[in-house]
Amino acid sequence: MDRGTKAAVLVTGGAGFIGAHTAKALYDRGYLPVVYDSLSSGFREAVRWGPLVHGDIRDARTLSDAMAEHDVKAVIHFAGLIEVGRSTVKPDLFWEHNVAGTVSLLGAMRERGVGRLVFSSSAAVYGQGGRGALETIPENAPKAPASPYGDTKLACEWMIEAQCRAYGLTGVALRYFNAAGADASGQIGEAHEPETHLIPLAIAAALGDGKPLTVFGADFDTPDGTCLRDYIHVSDLADAHVAALEADLPAGAYEAANVGTGQGASVLEVVEAVGRAVGRPVPHSIGPRRAGDPPSLVANPGRARELLGWGATRSSLDQIVADALRWESQPSYGAGVRGKRKASVPVR
Ligand code: UDP
């Protein structure tokens, strides 16, 4: 379809990792992604497929003006704080940015009559509950967040659901499992400051660009004692947002869907996959558990297929690691995050 005929979509946090990949997926589908970002953790260079509005998610006025100026028809909401560990020491900050920020966004949407929201939620809403390590998680599983970060995502979901019912908004919350990998073009990828995520840290360690990796706990009740996670390629995740935007749902509907593969990988399995891709083992040691980490988070992805017609197609661990390695070897922004890159690195 011709791009000119399709709507402007406000992408809050669109200069960040998942937001930038989603902006690209929107552009590829003919939408105009209007990125709204404070650039406090995102990168200007990651905004390539539409305009950037520089603003804070708690600033309802600037949000509302941006919606009017660009004739925004729908919002995909990523903006917020994401580090689970930090949320355990600064919970107030997480409530302010994630929950109060979403209050201000919803208010601006109501003011401008924007009726569709896709919300960036998280598997962190589930926590471990009473689930066994090998059980996958359906959407109706008990919600027992293990961190203030997870609390804020769950609080946002409740608030969005209530506003859908009250004001006729249509909302879809996507509960991500572990986003990883990078766009195949090499134009955009993962760049957090500081980087806390397993795959980039393991790659940096194997390339000799970063510190040896610390495995956070090997005494969990899982097959090899390390945490199990469901790694999902960021480009698959981006496609799920476009599918949620286009899902045939009535006004007032609210839905939540897991975005994962249904397959768990342990920290040590990731370490091995990175070692294979780089061609050198990942230097690592076993350390204590990290606060707020449940032993296992693996999706039951059935609802996303049913509701959105979506399923992962690029999310084998080897594909994720290969795409992440291509990016990590030659990042076009954010390289300062992990120091100077080696001139030649073995990319396979
Ligand atoms: N992890 C680790 N060492 C690190 C970073 C992460 O062992 O330096 C583990 C972490 O405990 C979790 C998994 O890797 O079990 C994925 O963590 P990440 O921070 O990438 O994502 P999260 O699960 O927190 O969303």
pLDDT at 343: 32
Our answer on whether the CB atom of 216 is closer than 6 Å to any ligand 1 atom is yes
Residue type, 189: G
Our answer on whether the CB atom of 84 is closer than 6 Å to any ligand 1 atom is yes
pLDDT tens over the chain, length 348 residues: 344 567 999 999 999 999 999 999 999 999 999 999 999 999 999 999 999 999 999 999 999 999 999 999 999 999 999 988 899 999 999 999 999 999 999 999 999 999 999 999 999 999 877 788 789 999 999 999 989 999 999 999 999 999 999 999 999 999 999 999 999 999 999 998 888 899 999 999 999 988 999 999 999 999 999 999 999 999 999 999 999 999 999 999 999 999 999 999 999 999 999 999 999 999 999 999 998 788 999 999 999 999 999 999 999 999 999 999 999 998 989 865 444 343 333 333
pLDDT at 210: 84
- Nearest-CA residue for ligand 1 atom 25 is 178
Residue 196: phi and psi, rounded to 5, are: -120, -5
Please identify, by atom number, the ligand 1 atom nearest to the C-alpha of residue 297. Answer: 23
pLDDT at 193: 81
CA of 284 from ligand 1 middle (Å) equals: 13
CA distance 130 to 319: 32
Mutational pocket test of ligand 1: of 195, 197, 268, 296, the residue with most ligand atoms within 8 Å of the beta carbon? 197
Within 8 A by CB and 6+ apart from 264, the residues are 134, 228, 229, 230, 296, 298
pLDDT at 116: 98
Q: Say if CB 45 and CB 332 are below 8 A apart.
A: yes
Return the CATH number of 8-180+232-259, one of 3.90.420.10, 3.30.300.30, 3.40.50.720, 3.20.20.450. Answer: 3.40.50.720
pLDDT at 5: 63
Sequence spans of domains, the chain: 8-180+232-259
Q: Which two tokens stand for residue 221?
A: 């009740």
CA distance 261 to 167: 33
CA of 198 from ligand 1 middle (Å) equals: 5
SS3 sequence of 140-156? CCCCCCCCHHHHHHHHH
- Nearest-CA residue for ligand 1 atom 20 is 197
Q: Which two tokens stand for residue 219?
A: 């005494």
Q: Which positions are catalytic? A: 149
pLDDT at 9: 98
Predicted structure pTM score: 0.94
pLDDT at 1: 37
Our answer on whether the CB atom of 146 is closer than 6 Å to any ligand 1 atom is no
CA of 324 from ligand 1 middle (Å) equals: 16
Residue 11: phi and psi, rounded to 5, are: -115, 95
